[in-house]
Each structure stands twice: as structure tokens, then as C-alpha cells.
Amino acid sequence: MDVSRRIFAVGAATIPFIGSGLPFGRAKATEQDAPIIGSQAAADPLELATDAYIYGYPLVTMEMTRRVLTNVAAPEGKGAPMGQFANMREYPNAKFRAVTAPNADTLYSSAFLDVGREPHILTIPEEDGRYYLMPMLSAWTNIFAVPGKRTTGTGPQTYFIAGPDWSGSVPSGAKLIQAPTNLIWILGRTYCTGTSEDYRAVHALQDQYRLIPASAAGKAYTPPAGRVDPNIDMKTAVREQVNCMDATTYFNLLAGLMKDNPPALADGVPVAKMASIGIAPGRPFDPASQPPAISDAIERAPKEAIPRIMGHLKDTGRHVNGWTFTTDGGDYGKDYLQRALITAVGLGCNLPQDAVYPTTTVDAAGRKLNGNSKYVMRFPEGELPPVNGFWSLTMYDADYFFVDNPVNRYSVSPRDDLKANPDGSVDLFIQAESPGTQHESNWLPAPLGPFILMMRTYWPKDDLLNGAWAPPPVTRSTSASL
């Protein structure tokens, strides 16, 4: 169940992501900011309201995602009660709508925790060399810890995850991870080839991913049943639910969430600007109490902000061979527009050290990708994506969801036993119809309409991170119908 994550990657001519690379490094979003501005600062009310909407978009989306994914009595499919893992047992299909940009490369182990109530203990078993990672996201979608093969190896591990206000002693044998917010999301990924045998192997590992509240340490513990709220919309995609909220509902929810999940110290300026139009942590928001110019601006904010968020897609990162790249994923500092965009199209995005995601909507000539045409990606000999983990090419429709197709294939990768050409190059065939039996291993089915391509490159090597390597262009066949 991805959730992902992920929309872009570093590419040619970009500056590599620079970070601690440690599993528990403090996020750059917690750095101290310049002095906070006063609420008397003159500014356009619509600009203030629009910026406030963009700033709060990740927090509101995380909460709505939490509500949907934890609204179950017991772990089942993509959902589990608070404090429990939901272990996806097979790859999502084209009906999956819980989150945008799902993946078909890893099996997910997802858990929402309230570490403000009390710390939780996470136990990870021996992975025996298998690629996995357990990124932990704050309520604002910043990754603050990443246990996994890259950072901590594949041996058994135990972590004590505490909230921002916790103090005390850590149990013997456990490592402390202190979260920046009370609400956190663990979005674990374990690599799986998708065969029956490997499904069984990964299921055995997932069954050993264990979360218990600290008060249950050393005791027999049975997780309590979850409470199901019939008023929660379990059918409509979360992004659509958020985007359809009226401004008063949105900003009231945002203000309430900020009480338990305070903004980073670095966010003093946007917080002060929000306060100047009546939006403050823990305080009910009433636009009627504001001057007409502000209440009118508040009402208009969603229609102004959503196009700005989605429009940022064409401006972000660098562009190479039609692909878009950026290193700004997983930890956003003060780039609130980028954070909102990634939330909208790839919630749960990894740090670039763990995964980078080139994406494209156009062919080599700059024309929009459309399944009424046929396309080829050719990788010259020795120039497949350079990774320490694995790579894949995933097909999405125009809304970042999987595309239904007769062979139930949503991505293509080396595990499909890709066939090379006589000169050692590898062609990927991207089209609606089968390219023929001899090429089907290299076929990524497309819809009859617009589509989006995303590469996943897990644990990328330096050539990818420093821009020395970039994906080849998507070339339209000369027999294309458009």
C-alpha cells in the first residue's frame, strides 16, 4: 500500500541531497528560524490565506489518511487500529485508492502511533540480507528516522519511540528515537519479488514486525480492538476528501491538529502569518470573527491553493530527457510548496538516500504521453539504473493510480526477466497492446489515454545521486497513431 511516496529523483545537473544519512538524524525542518514576524505586518489577505492552506496541507492530509487507515476493528488489508501494523500481503491492484502513487515492488507494513500518550517499542527481526526500510514520518510528513538495510543493517533491532515532550529512561537493549510530533506514521517497506515463495518469506518477516506500548514491555500483550467510526468516508480517495473541504472545516482541523503536532521551530514566520488571520494552534477558527476582506480571502483559499500546489509539478527540480528530478523529498525544510506537492502526489516519500523517483508525462519530443501511441525506453548496454537496492518503472493514470490491464502488471523491472537486445541494450515497451510474445517480459501496459511514468530507484548509487546518470527518453514509435 503505498503510499507513497515519491515522485521524483535527483538527476543531471542537480545538487546532490546532503544530509546526515543516519537512521535517527534530526530533520532539517527543526532548525531554528530567523525572528518571527509580528502579526501587524501588512500583507494581502488572499496571499496569507493561500499560503496558510499550502503550509497546512501535509498535516491535514496525514490526519485524514490516519482516519481512513485506522478505522478498522482489527488489522486487515491496508488498515489497522492505532498502534498496530497493517501488513500488505500482496501488491495493490488497480482498484486501490487509499493513497496516491502506490508501488508494486515492496510489501508495506504501515502503522500510525500516538507517541504523545506514551512511547512505543518497535521490534524488527533478522532480515537475512533482504532489502527493507522502516521510515518514520512526522505529522508534517518529514522523515525523522530510517531504520533499514542501508542505515542499520539487516540484523534484529529494537527501538523505543517517544514523543517530543517525553523524558525518562530507555529499556535495556533498545535504541531511542524521539519523534518531533505526537502523531507519527511508520511506513515500512520490505522487498518482494511477487512470487508465491517470496510472498511467504516476506509474510513471515512481517509477522515479526511488532509494536507494543512501553507500559506493556515484559508483559503478555494483546492489542485492543479498534473503534470503527461509520461517519468516516472509506471510499473516496483521501486527496479528494481534503481538496473538497470548505475553508472553515479545513482551517479548523488544521488549528486543532497543530496543538498536538506543533510546527517546527523553523516555521515561526508562517505560523505568525496564520495567526494574523485568526488561525492558531488549538484555537477554534471562526472566519466570521475576521474582517470581511479576511473572511472572503479564507473562503477563496482552497481554490487558489490547490492549483498552485499541483502547478508546482512543472516547476520543481530539473528536467533531463523529459524526466523531472528533485532531491527535495522526505525532509523539506521551509519549502512548504514542495512539501504540499509531494503530499498530494506521493504521500510517504522517502529520503533521496533511500529512494529517488524520476517522473515524466511527456515523450522525447515533449508531447504528452498517451496510450493511443506506442513508446520505447532504450537503456544502452551497462546503463540500467545504478542502484544498491532495486529499480522499477511504474505506470500510473493521470491521477497517480495504477492502470487496469489484462496481465495485472503495474511496473516492469529486472525481476520480470528482462530480455536484452543483441548489442546488450535493453528496451522497455510502453503501450496498451502486447508487443508480442517475444517482448512481453519487457512490456509495461498503458491505458488508452493520458498516463504518467515513474521510476523507483532504491538505495541509489553515486552516479544517480550526483547526476552522472539519468533515465533515457521515452521515444514514441514511428507507427504511433497520434
- pLDDT 10s digits, 54-70: 999 999 999 999 999 99
Total Cβ atoms within 10 A of residue 325:
26
The CATH code that applies to domain 16-309 is 2.60.40.1610
The three grid cell numbers given for residue 3, joined into one nine-digit string: 503510499
The three grid cell numbers given for residue 129, joined into one nine-digit string: 540480507
Residue 298 main-chain phi, psi, to 5 deg: -60, -45
| Per-residue pLDDT, 36 | 32
Calculate mean pLDDT across residues 433-461.
96
pLDDT of 28 over the 80 cut: no
Calculate mean pLDDT across residues 395-409.
93
| Per-residue pLDDT, 479 | 56
d(CA 454, CA 411): 9
pLDDT of 8 over the 70 cut: no
Q: What percent of the chain has pLDDT over 90?
A: 79
Spatial CA neighbour of 92 closest among 77, 70, 80: 77
Q: For residue 154, what are the CA distances in angstroms to 113, 136, 182, 276?
A: 23, 17, 28, 49
d(CA 72, CA 226): 6
pLDDT of 434 over the 90 cut: yes
Tell me: the pLDDT tens digits for 196-230?
999 999 999 999 999 999 999 999 999 999 999 99
- Band the pLDDT of 2: cuts 50, 70, 90: very low
The three grid cell numbers given for residue 347, joined into one nine-digit string: 504521500
d(CA 392, CA 426): 13
The CATH code that applies to domain 358-476 is 2.60.120.1600
pLDDT of 467 over the 90 cut: no
pLDDT of 6 over the 50 cut: no
d(CA 316, CA 324): 8
As a three-state string, the secondary structure of the chain is: CCCCCCCCECCCCCCCCCCCCCCCCCCHHHCCCCCCCCCCCCCCHHHHHHHHHHHHHHHHHHHHHHHHHCCCCCCECCECCCCCCEECCCCCCCCCCCCCCCCCCEEEEEEEEECCCCCEEEEECCCCCCCEECCEEECCCCEEECCEHHHHCCCCEEEEEECCCCCCCCCCCCEEEECCCCEEEEEEEEECCCCHHHHHHHHHHHCCCEEEEHHHCCCCCCCCCCCCCCCCCCCCCHHHHHHCCCHHHHHHHHHHHHHHCCCCHHHHHHHHHHHCCCCCCCCCCCHHHCCHHHHHHHHHHHHHHHHHHHHHHHCCCEEECCEEECCCCCCCCCCHHHHHHHHHHHCCCCCCCCEECCEECECCCCCECECCCCEEEEECCCCCCCECCCEEEEEEECCCCCCCCCCCCCEECHHHCCCECCCCCEEEEEECCCCCHHHHHHEEECCCCEEEEEEEEECECHHHHCCCCCCCCCEECCCCCC
Domains of the chain, residue spans = 16-309, 358-476
d(CA 384, CA 386): 6
| Per-residue pLDDT, 445 | 97
Torsion over CA of 328, 334, 336 and 342, rounded to 10 degrees? 20
pLDDT of 78 over the 70 cut: yes
| Span of 79-83, 382-386, 410-414, 463-467 with lowest mean pLDDT | 463-467
Calculate mean pLDDT across residues 295-323.
92
| Per-residue pLDDT, 133 | 97
Cell 492502470, located at residue:
403
